[in-house]
Amino acid sequence: MKKIAAIGCAGLTLAVLLLGAVGCQGYNSLVALEESVDSSWAQVENAYQRRTDLIPNLVQTVKGARDFEQETFTRVAEARASVGKMSFAGAPTAEQLRAFEQSQGALSNALSRLLVSVERYPDLKATQAFRDLQAQLEGTENRISVERKRFNDAARVFNTRRRRFPTVIIANIAGFDAKPYFKAQEGSETPPTVDFGS
């Protein structure tokens, strides 16, 4: 009888140790993946910050053109200020990500208006400084796209691991929430109309 009790106690101890090991491994993997998501988010912010830092140079170059619309500059400055107010400790929540995307969208729209209105100034378009800044902005937009994809990849890996059994139990107990994804802005599935007739 004592032998059976000892075997049962040893089996129970082994089961508890095994569950503890699985729990620790699941928790540690979630921590590592969450750090990867946070790191990817930091790179997204870095790419957006690069764009924000380029804007004053672009504006100063464009201001060199006579009679340029002040309203366009005001919109760019306001959008840039709005973007500068947003920062997060780690990756944002889904709601924070939507707000971030809205402010970045406003900045993108203001920049687009600035670049479209520059079309009326052929002398400005011909300057090397303006062409260099335009190339820098184009490169920055590409970097933003790449970093957003990397963030989505890191969020996908985290969310997949978080939903797997038994890690889902550990995630719920330890408070690891699913990470949001960047999504295309509404209406982006419709291609823009290009009209060279006007």
Using pLDDT thresholds of 50, 70 and 90, give the confidence band for residue 172.
very high
Looking at residue 194, its pLDDT comes to 45
What are the CA-CA distances from residue 15 to residues 19, 21, 40, 132 (Å)? 6, 10, 37, 65
196: pLDDT strictly greater than 70: no
58: pLDDT strictly greater than 60: yes
67: pLDDT strictly greater than 60: no
Over residues 162-177, mean pLDDT = 91
**Selection from 129, 121, 136, 139 nearest residue 61 by Cα:** 129
Over residues 21-47, mean pLDDT = 86
- Distance, in Å, from the CA atom of 33 to the CA atom of 155, rounded to the nearest integer, reads 8
pLDDT in tens, 142-153: 898 899 999 999
Looking at residue 187, its pLDDT comes to 61
pLDDT in tens, 69-116: 666 667 777 777 777 667 777 778 878 888 888 888 877 877 777 777
Task: Look at the alpha carbons of 155, 156, 157, 160 in this order and tell me if their dihedral is positive or negative.
Answer: positive
Using pLDDT thresholds of 50, 70 and 90, give the confidence band for residue 126.
low
Give the domain ranges of the chain.
2-174
